[in-house]
Structure 1
Amino acid sequence: MSRKDTLVSRIPKLGERVERKDVVSVVKLHGVITPQASPLAARGVINLSSVESALKRAFAPERLKAVALQINSPGGAPTQSGLVAERIRKLADTRGVPVIAFAEDVAASGGYWLACAADEIYAHRTSMVGSIGVLTGSFGFAGLLERFGIERRLYTAGENKARLDPFSPEKPEDVAWLRKLHAQLHDMFVEWVRQRRGDRLSESEDLFSGDMWLGAKALELGLVDGLGNLREVIEERYPGAEITVAEPKKPLLARLGMSSPAAAVLEAVQHRAMWSRFGL
């Protein structure tokens, strides 16, 4: 049979009914959660802008049975974590389909916030899960400027405008202010986890300490519902369903094949620092 005949044979005949399969959509949430959208690649960073098109595609199929979130993230910006999670819940409630999250290497901090948008969470036995806490990292360069005889000139309106300026000496009152913000964000994080996980959570005192655990211990603590990988769980839960991956649209510069080496290197260093906390 020629190639033409093969293609023609695959076209449904007039009046012939085409059997449509059930669909389980997969959305990959891989990377650092950051509001800084990359003009070069949609992959590697997570924010509402970068995942919106993928989420809309994932929840669009007519015979949709479920949406799976494939999560591999060390966390990042709390606001973007909340925005993406809320968007997932809105789409899930609108379509009336379950959402199942699968932790891969890491679902920590903001990555776990995203996982809690799902109705169920699964992890591999080697996955690192949790880190329910808040972190801010910075440097202090005041001594460095003094060593090289560099004079810092900073002009502000508002006595607190220059809080935590890295080129000025650290002030105890600024640190106290930051810790207060951390406490408020931590309370929001804990409230979200309790809202989504409910009585599945254990009463462990360490649960919200910012610590993290491997899959089996996370299951014991109620942070996840089971151990397993995406394909095995989905094939068992929805036999015969077609598993489709919903990819985000590539940014314009990526589609044109343009790149910025300097921006790429800086972004890589920042993200490397985030992943290195988890030995990855």
Structure 2
Amino acid sequence: MAPPVRRSPWFWVAIIVATVAVAAVLMAAMFKSAMKDLTGSSSTSTTAFGGSSIAVIDVDGVILDADKVDKELRKFGDDSSVKAIILHINSPGGGAAASQEIYHEVLRVRAEKHKKIVASVESVGASGAYYIASACDKIYANDASVVGSIGVIMEWTNYGDLMKWVKLKSVVIHAGELKDAGDPTHDMTPKEAAYFQGLVDNMYGQFVHDVAAGRHTSEDVIRPLATGQVWTGQQSLPLGLIDKVGGFRVALMDTAKDVGISGEPSIVKPSTGRKGLAALLNGDADDLLLPSPARMLNQAPGFYFMWK
């Protein structure tokens, strides 16, 4: 047998130093994450001491719930140093009820807190995202932004033939003729189709009504535009779907001027959530370890204000 390799004392010193260094980095990351949660600060915040600021809330990706955006609206609505709020939108829409809830929260903050709220559409502000934007004082969009898609969609995948192929049977016990309506293991009956169409039509009417109210126009003006199609920002302006063609910078400077802020406005953003290694250590890494709910949207039956 070969004699055991003898390590230099400096080897063990290096191991100990490296271990301490790694532990220090982990502790620093956890402390920084905890401080952000406690203070609500963000590395992207640039609020001036004693000055007036404009809050920017990002509405990104598929809208699945209203909690996060509503909480941010309430926070900045109650902050006297925040003179206006910009919703920076880049979303194809999402859940019908979630989009509607944010819409009403925007209206509430505007009415009760007397705070100006503006929408700035980046690449996409469609369907549920446009629903939210219509509640704002003004809507800005780039020339090539995609805007509109006023409509409702409900869809799912019917895999009844696949189950027959693998010789599986769905067993459902229910009371109420329409209780299992939409079961993906069997074809829809005419009565089920009429039932779902009635729900979709009702939501469509709510969409048209709320957009018309938010845009200070009539349903007769909005309904011809509510075909589910989208327009570019350039096309949307003469249609009355937006108020001005321009990017985020234009929306920011115009809003600052409107609320009496001279020069370069200070910007404040919500604190960012815990990410990366700190999230793993704290058990808050759902988005890192599990599929995003947005990616699973096509598998979830429901009613959506969403452009695809």
Are the equivalent residues in 1 in contact too, given 2:120–2:251 (CA < 8 A)?
no
What is the alpha-carbon root mean square deviation over aligned residues?
3.0
Q: Equivalent of 2:293, from 260, 264, 267?
A: 267
Unaligned stretches of 5+ residues in structure 2: 1-47, 257-261
How many equivalent pairs are there? 248
Amino acid at match of 1:198: H
Give the partner amino acid of 1:246: P
Is 1:115 paired with 2:145?
no
Other structure's SS at 1:83 match? helix
Which residue identity is paired with 2:97? T
2:162 matched to 1:144? yes
1:110-189 matches, cutoff 5 A: 110-189=128-207
- Of 193, 196, 200, the match for 2:214: 196
- Verify the 8 A CA contact 1:32 1:73 in the aligned structure 2: yes
> Is the 1:23–1:61 contact (alpha carbons within 8 Å) kept by the matching residues of 2?
no
Aligned match of 1:243 in 258, 267, 282? 267
Residue 249 of structure 2 is matched in structure 1 by: 231
Cα-to-partner distance string for 1:198-256 (whole Å, 9 max, x where unaligned): 24999487401111101011111100000112223322442332121124666996782
More helix by share: 2
2:93–2:125 CA contact under 8 A, matched in 1: yes
Task: Report how far residue 115 of structure 1 moved.
Answer: 0.4
Render the CA deviation track for 1:18-42: whole Å, top value 9, x for unaligned.
97322111111112111xxxxxxxx
Distance 1:19 1:28, change over 3 A: closer
CA contact (8 A) 1:54 1:248 kept: no
TM-score (norm 2): 0.72
1:87-126 paired onto structure 2 within 5 Å:
87-126=105-144
Contact 2:89 2:120 in 1 (8 A): yes
Q: 1:21 maps to what in 2?
A: 51
4+ runs of 1 displaced by more than 6 Å?
251-255
Which is greater in Rg? 2
Opposite residue 269 of structure 2, the aligned amino acid is V
**Mapping for residues 5-44 of structure 1, pairs under 5 Å:** 20-34=50-64
Task: Identify unmatched segments of 5+ residues in structure 1.
Answer: 1-17, 35-46
Change (3 A) 1:136 1:230: same
C-alpha spacing 1:133/1:261, structure 2 compared with 1 (3 Å): closer
Post-superposition offset of 1:122? 0.5
Partners of 1:67 and 1:266 lie apart in 2 by 28
- The sequence identity of aligned pairs, in percent, is 26
TM-score by length of 1: 0.78
